Amino acid sequence: MPAACVPQVLTHKTNPAEVLLTGWHRTGPDSFTVTARWPRSHAFYVHRDGLLDPLLLGESIRQALPLLSHAAYDVPLDHHLLWQDFRWELDPAAARDEGHGADVELHVTATEVKYRRARAAAMVLHVRAWREGVPLAEARTHFTVQDRAVYRRLRGPYADLAHVTARALPAPPPTPGPMAGGRRAEDVVLAHAEGEDRWLLRVDTSHPILFDHPVDHVPGMLLLEAARQAAQSASWLRTTAVLGMEAVFVRYAELDAPCWIDARPLPDAPAGRQRVLVTARQHDEEIFTDVVVLGEA
């Protein structure tokens, strides 16, 4: 079956240049192939340590969530997708940066599909990513779907975008120097906080990639980027390529209150790897955790 093109609106991206997906087709009742093109260079997702930026995998799968929800499961465009968890592991040998980007295939299988009336209300996606015929990564993600009325009840006053935007805290200065890892200052999502391996989440609602369009909460990709930066800052490895994540989205991170990021190395990692637990807390409650797997590229 020929692949269908990917309309920009189905990826929930406002800027067409940020759409990574190039096509999709159904391979079974609940299985699909989604194609993506990772750019040779990108303003935010920068290739480092000889590897393509691994968070391009995260953004590709994040775009596949709305694509398949709307195109394959008839979820209306005004419904909201709620990320529950996201786990992935990447083979660094298949992710080498060869200077020309990458064509990637996502082989996706949906399980535990739950319906509310005629539309999907929740599912788990299992993803095997291939780069030009070579296995690149495996991923699993669980998300739920809420219609607009239910979402407004869940979010209360936070469903009012104008209200949320007016109350958003200004972004503090980014962490300087080596902790930035060579990133541009505007791409650093951590700010100084007292305490070892502790930061304040830096939320810049004017960032053109992380805030491609106005939203009523901190985007999931921003939390994943914060986990990446915190884990790399806390690591003792000589190089700190991110080779995997196990993220759990517990609660929304709100824009009107400080969010604290803590990193703690974990024991029992394989040789040449390190596991770092990154935790986000807001209003003294844990709202996000991510076990980041680091390794030498």
Q: How far apart are the first and last CA of the chain?
A: 37
Q: What is the 3-state secondary structure (H, E, C) of 33-90?
A: EEEEEECCCCCCCCCECCECCCHHHHHHHHHHHHHHHHHHHCCCCCCEEEEEEEEEEE
Q: Are residues 229 and 196 in the same domain?
A: yes
**Is it the case that residue 62 has pLDDT exceeding 90?**
yes
212: its two tokens: 């491609």
pLDDT average, residue stretch 62-91: 96
My answer on whether 12 and 117 are in the same domain is: yes
pTM here is 0.96
Residues 272, 189 share a domain = yes
Report how far apart, in Å, the C-alpha atoms of 155 and of each of 80, 123, 204, 217 are: 11, 21, 21, 10
User: Is 136 in the same domain as 208?
Assistant: no
Domain-embedded: residue 203? yes
Q: What is the pLDDT of residues 248-294, one digit of tens each?
A: 999 999 999 999 999 999 998 888 889 999 999 999 999 999 999 99
Instruction: Please give the helix or strand (H or E) that residue 266 lies within, else none.
Output: strand 260-266
Percent of the residues in the chain that have a pLDDT greater than 90, as a whole number? 87
Is there a domain that residue 2 lies in?
no
Whether residues 188 and 272 fall in one domain: yes
Do residues 128 and 179 share a domain? no
Contact 230, 261 (CB under 8 A): yes
Q: Is residue 161 part of a domain?
A: no
Q: What is the mean pLDDT of the chain?
A: 94
In the chain, the amino acid numbered 297 is A
User: 10 Å Cβ neighbour count for 27?
Assistant: 13
pLDDT tier at 191, thresholds 50, 70, 90: very high
Are 103 and 186 within one domain?
A: no
HEC profile of 116-132: ECCEEEEEEEEEEEEEC
Residue 183: which pLDDT band, with cuts at 50, 70 and 90?
confident
The predicted pLDDT at position 177 comes to 63
Give the range of the structural domain holding residue 178, as residue numbers without chain letter: 166-295
The answer to whether position 1 is within a domain reads no
Alpha-carbon distances, residue 179 vs 188, 231, 280 (angstroms): 9, 11, 18
Q: Give the C-alpha separation, 199 to 234, whole Å.
A: 11
What is the distance between the alpha carbons of residues 22 and 62, in angstroms, rounded to a whole number?
14
The label of the residue with tokens 């609106």 reads 9
| One domain, residues 232 and 273 | yes
- pLDDT tens profile 110-146: 999 999 888 899 999 999 999 999 999 999 999 999 9
Domain end call among 113, 147, 181? 147
Q: Is residue 218 part of a domain?
A: yes
- Looking at per-residue pLDDT, the higher value among 230 and 4 belongs to 230
> Is the pLDDT at 73 greater than 90, yes or no?
yes
In a domain, 155, yes or no: no
Beta strands 31-38; 119-131: pairing state: unpaired
Residue 153 lies in a domain: no
Cα–Cα distances (Å) from 41 to 153, 181, 228, 257, 273, in that order, read 41, 17, 19, 34, 27
How many structural domains is the chain composed of?
Answer: 2
Check whether residue 121 and residue 174 sit in a common domain: no
CATH number at residue 203: 3.10.129.10
Stretch 234-240: mean pLDDT, rounded? 77
281/176 same-domain check: yes
- Residue 214 and residue 97 share a domain: no
For residues 177 and 284, membership in a common domain is answered with yes
DSSP label at residue 19: -
